[in-house]
Amino acid sequence: MSTLSDDLQDCIDACNASITAANACLSEHLGEEAMARCLALCLDCTDLCTACVQMMARGSDYVARVCAICADLCEACADECARFDSESCQACAEACRRCAEQCRQMAA
């Protein structure tokens, strides 16, 4: 079995942290009408970050393109979550910003 590069592993770790943070945000705020956009972005983020992790782990030829989209989505999720004061939203915003940064590096 081949070992993943440090850059690839860092991006996978950032995506997994984003998935965890977005799920925590979803769990805390599920059903809150004022959070509808935040929750929708968290759902999208978990789906796309999961796909990124899987594609990076298997060395897909499409990693750069998918990571570019993931970076855009994570940035949008971070911006939306940052609008709210809850600890889970702030943690999600931070994790999504880190994920966006790592994914942009993978997309370059």
Domains of the chain are 6-107 (1.20.1270.360)
Per-residue confidence (pLDDT) for residue 1, from 0 to 100: 47
Residue type, 15: C
pLDDT in tens, 22-50: 999 999 999 999 999 999 999 999 999 99
- Mean pLDDT per 10-residue section of the chain, whose length is 108 residues: 79 98 96 94 97 95 96 98 96 98 95
Give the Cα separation of 39 and 103 in Å (integer).
Answer: 21
Ranges of H-type helices in the chain: 6-29, 36-57, 63-81, 87-107
